[in-house]
Amino acid sequence: WVQALQLFREMSDDHVESDTITYNVVVRACGKGDEWLRALQVFHEMADRRLERDFFTYNAIISACGDSGEWLAALKLFR
């Protein structure tokens, strides 16, 4: 997750446009690293940038929260 997040930030620094797929990969990587809060931050950043959050996005963030035992956080995503 650290490398994925670092590469993601470097892309931004180099003015490389990130899309939904890029964000999905970062959310998934953070989730796999038990970094559910970071995954949630990236998820919310997508909304701030007006990027579409698709099936894969929601699957990744719900898994990140659920795998960490943060079921309330996962449930709040449905509101």
Residues of the chain with pLDDT under 50: none
| pLDDT the model gives residue 62 | 96
| pLDDT the model gives residue 75 | 92
Distance CA 30, CA 38 (A): 6
Give the SS3 label for residue 37: helix
| pLDDT the model gives residue 10 | 92
Run of H or E residues at 52: none
Q: Model's pTM, two decimal places?
A: 0.88
| pLDDT the model gives residue 33 | 95
Q: What is the CA radius of gyration of the chain?
A: 12
CA angle 69, 40, 10 (to 5 degrees): 130
